[in-house]
Amino acid sequence: MSVARVLVAGFTAALVSGVTCGVTVRVLVRLFVLAAGRTPAFSIAGSLLLVALFVISVVPGAVASAATAHPTPLVVLYALGMVIVVYTGVAIGVEEWTAAIGHGLSNRQVALLVLLTLGVAVVVLGNPVLAHRIAQRLSTRSRIGTERPAQRRPDA
């Protein structure tokens, strides 16, 4: 597989995964703020930065996933990229929880906020998994016209 093809597969996987997970986390954080009884104050620039952070964090791992199937470099590269996202997520999460607790919450609100927090954690940890799967799929897909057509099966 050519270097250009590996790079295209890796960057495409990172873009698709990062945008999907970044937008999902943005929606979950907005729901968190609303469930806490506060008024959301999110900027477009902040939302774009969040999505960019999700994309950038998986680029090295996604390119490596497109290039190789060996797990060791993949785990290391994805882990290094995720350090930024996890650190930022914990800092923002603590800030949001502190603000939410200051408003006095009912038990139902606390339960909802816990579920939303877990949802954010699942999406953050799922970003490298999704990027890896997309990169693997894109890198192993054959080019159009290079394989023999599939044999048509007779109807049973």
- Model pTM? 0.81
Question: Looking at the domain assignment, is residue 33 inside a domain?
Answer: yes
Determine phi and psi for 142, rounding to 5 degrees: -80, 155
CB 85 within 8 A of CB 22: no
pLDDT digits (tens, 9 = 90+) for 9-51: 999 999 999 999 999 999 999 999 999 888 888 899 999 999 9
Q: Is the pLDDT of residue 152 over 70?
A: no
How far, in Å, CA of 51 to CA of 19, rounded? Answer: 6
- Structural domain count, the chain: 1
pLDDT digits (tens, 9 = 90+) for 88-104: 888 888 888 888 888 78
**Does residue 147 have a pLDDT over 60?**
no
148 in any annotated domain: no
Give, as one character, the DSSP assignment of residue 40.
Answer: -
The structure tokens listed for 133 are: 């799967």
Instruction: Establish if 35 belongs to a structural domain.
Output: yes
Identify the domain containing residue 114 by its residue range. 3-140
